[in-house]
Chains A and B, each alone.
Chain A
Amino acid sequence: MDLAATILLNGLTLAALYFIVASGFSLIFGLMRVVNMAHGSLYLIAGYVGYAVFEPLYDQDLWWAWYAGLGAGIAAAAVSGALMQKLLLGWMQGQELRQALVTIGVSIIAADQLLAFYGGTPRQFFAPDAIFGSTQVPLVGGYPTFRLVQIGIAVVVGVGLWLLLNRTKLGMMIRAGVDDREMLGACGVNVPLVGVAVFALGAALCGIGGIVGSTAQPLAMGQDGRFLLISLVVVIVGGMGSVTGTAVGAVLVGLAEQLGQALFPTYSVILTFVIMVAVLALRPQGILGRA
């Protein structure tokens, strides 16, 4: 019973991280129809830039070092995302496959330049004292506080995103753009600007994931591929461009991964992909995707 509870909690905390990262991917795809293959690179950019800000502050024992790193990481990712849309992707709107290829090119260069700049040494953030240490959880016992905070952050991100999309003017424009870009432009909305904003927002979400993820586990080269893959699987399973769908997908994938690792460690990857294949066979648009 204790083991089951631990696995469940592990799965949920992992799902929280996956949701934060994949929600950005899903948001960009939903409005822009861009499969951002450089999404994992944004994760790395946020992590490395955030760490460069975090480290000197942490050495001086400043309590806000982690928050400064978080802010810097989010900003770096958001700016990178906006630049990518502004400079490379914006003028080939509608050519989805070409855009995907462009982002692949960007991801190759980004990963290589990050390696050149920051080297291959893994890094890891130290969470601020307030959310460090362990907390007693019923059935499970002591559990890292930060991983529980991770769930909180994911909930805040999810609710925030939902409010933004459903309760604000920007959200209204985004939702209108999903259905009919041309009509939205005809209504006097600057659609390209909305596009840049969406890209920045999606990248910023990935940036939050980058800092949170690099606090819970080490940041290293190769994480870009991992988080790109996870974003792909989560949105394929949950459904493209839907916040709730992304959450469902993240929970399924996170739980499957932890369950698999507990029950049959060397075959655990298969479970994730069995879920993906089953969803594709029965509902190609994803569990909560629109047909």
Chain B
Amino acid sequence: MRDRLLLLSLLGLGLMAAAPFLLQAMLPANQAQFWTANVLGRAAVFGIIAMSLTFLATYGGFISLAQMMIAGVAGYAVAVFVEGAVPRIVGGLGYGLAIPLGVLAATVMGLIVGAVSVRTRDIYLLMITLALSMGVFRFVETNIAWFNGYEGIRNVVGPELFGLGFRDPWLFYYVALGTAVLLLAGVLYLVRSPFGLVLQGIRDNPRRVAALGYNVALHRIAAFGVAGFIAGCGGVLATIYNIGISPGTIGLGATVNVLIMSVIGGLGHPVGAFLGSLIFTIFDTFAANLYDRDRFNTLIGAVFLIIVLVSPDGVIGIGARLRRLLGGSKP
């Protein structure tokens, strides 16, 4: 099963790498560009954020609803410190410094979320992470001095690379894809390391892991830190994709969307996050042709509901882990 999945992943990777060329050969230039940046590129970016949740859910058993908020922390950190953002809050830094700063901020936020929720499990964890992310959302929405309140911060265009603007469709797509692949490989490597094994032990039986002498709390917090780093990378890319950031990007809707992506893709393997985000993005882009222009939420909500009701394993169908996760867990 695992080998077949690996083969499929490699096949998918090759397909994704060749996608811009294929699209260019098949579609008119402007449509190919739209697909490259606004469907595939966007799917890769939000797939990264969804993967931070899938990583926690698959290997730790933690369904965290804070991941979009953590991604937003990275985005806001970049927007606050980078030169050229409108309005100028602090400014002065180039992207070379602002982006690592953003990812660092997200990692720290991930550690904080992990520490706050360290004594809770399952639905309690879900509630607490949701409360934390809504708290941050309300805070940035009402705070003018640091986050420009409801308006948010605009004009975060990203650095120039190889003489091209960062938002050049091909450049953006390959950077997003490259980041996604590196992070995915990192996650797959990490879960085979001693740290990853302890994490999976905590998922299955925290008391036994503690009895073996491992510090369960510390491992949990570290896992949230790793997830924060991943979400931060996604958050920086998402902010550049949106040319800025506003509270709406980390609101309840956005938070739930990330959960939808992860669940649709399947919480059994990190690659599910990217499948889910691709499906979500395609629905999002073409919902107008499917049901009703304004009723995208009903459509995606129904898809989500059906998947949870019928097959909690998502589309990749590796159900055993999720079933153990969802089934019969008492706090």
CB-defined interface of B295-330 with A at 8 Å, one 1/0 digit per residue? Answer: 111101110110011001000000000000111110
Of all chain A residues, which has the CB nearest B127? A232
Complexed CA–CA distance, A149 and B208 (Å): 54
List the B side residues contacting A225 at CB < 8 Å.
134, 251-252
Complexed CA–CA distance, A265 and B326 (Å): 41
Q: Are A101 and B131 in contact (CB under 8 A)?
A: no
Q: Are A108 and B131 in contact (CB under 8 A)?
A: no
Complexed CA–CA distance, A111 and B132 (Å): 22
Q: Are B263 and A109 in contact (CB under 8 A)?
A: no
List the B side residues contacting A272 at CB < 8 Å.
135
List the B side residues contacting A104 at CB < 8 Å.
256, 259, 304
List the A side residues contacting B296 at CB < 8 Å.
112
What is the interface of chain A mostly: helix, strand, loop, or mixed? helix
Q: Are A280 and B300 in contact (CB under 8 A)?
A: no
Given contacts A232-B131, A269-B138, contact A113 B308 (CB under 8 A): no
Given contacts A229-B134, A269-B138, A273-B132, contact A280 B304 (CB under 8 A): no
What is the interface of chain B mostly: helix, strand, loop, or mixed? helix
Interface assignment of B128: CB less than 8 Å from any CB of chain A: yes
Interface assignment of A94: CB less than 8 Å from any CB of chain B: yes
Interface assignment of B215: CB less than 8 Å from any CB of chain A: no
Interface assignment of B294: CB less than 8 Å from any CB of chain A: yes
CB-defined interface of A137-175 with B at 8 Å, one 1/0 digit per residue? Answer: 000000000000000000000000000000000000000
Of all chain A residues, which has the CB nearest B252? A225
Q: Are B304 and A108 in contact (CB under 8 A)?
A: yes
List the A side residues contacting B325 at CB < 8 Å.
97
Interface assignment of A262: CB less than 8 Å from any CB of chain B: no
Q: Are B122 and A98 in contact (CB under 8 A)?
A: no
Q: Are A269 and B135 in contact (CB under 8 A)?
A: yes
Q: Are A266 and B328 in contact (CB under 8 A)?
A: no
List the A side residues contacting B132 at CB < 8 Å.
273
Partner of B116, one of A94, A229, A280: A280
Q: Are A266 and B326 in contact (CB under 8 A)?
A: no
Q: Are B301 and A105 in contact (CB under 8 A)?
A: yes
Complexed CA–CA distance, A105 and B259 (Å): 10
Q: Are B135 and A102 in contact (CB under 8 A)?
A: no
Interface assignment of A106: CB less than 8 Å from any CB of chain B: yes
Interface assignment of A95: CB less than 8 Å from any CB of chain B: yes
Complexed CA–CA distance, A54 and B139 (Å): 35
Interface assignment of B144: CB less than 8 Å from any CB of chain A: yes
Partner of A101, one of B139, B263, B298: B263
Interface assignment of A193: CB less than 8 Å from any CB of chain B: no
Interface assignment of A268: CB less than 8 Å from any CB of chain B: yes
Complexed CA–CA distance, A269 and B138 (Å): 7
Complexed CA–CA distance, A94 and B134 (Å): 27
Interface assignment of B63: CB less than 8 Å from any CB of chain A: yes
List the A side residues contacting B256 at CB < 8 Å.
104, 108
Complexed CA–CA distance, A96 and B329 (Å): 7
List the B side residues contacting A77 at CB < 8 Å.
none
Interface assignment of A1: CB less than 8 Å from any CB of chain B: no
Of all chain A residues, which has the CB nearest B296? A112
Interface assignment of B26: CB less than 8 Å from any CB of chain A: no
List the A side residues contacting B119 at CB < 8 Å.
280, 284
Using a CB–CB distance below 8 Å, which chain B residues touch chain A? 63, 116-117, 119-120, 122-124, 126-128, 130-132, 134-135, 138-139, 142-145, 251-252, 256, 259, 263, 294-298, 300-302, 304-305, 308-309, 312, 325-329, 331
Given contacts A102-B308, A273-B135, 6 further A-B contacts (CB under 8 A): A102-B309, A105-B305, A109-B301, A266-B145, A269-B135, A284-B119
Q: Which 4 A-B pairs have the closest CB atoms?
A: A105-B305, A108-B301, A112-B297, A109-B301
Can you list 27 A-B pairs, Cβ within 8 angstroms, ordered by A?
Answer: A96-B122, A97-B123, A100-B123, A101-B308, A102-B309, A104-B259, A106-B305, A108-B300, A109-B297, A109-B302, A111-B297, A112-B296, A112-B298, A113-B298, A116-B294, A116-B295, A225-B252, A232-B127, A266-B142, A266-B145, A267-B139, A267-B143, A268-B142, A269-B135, A269-B138, A273-B135, A284-B120
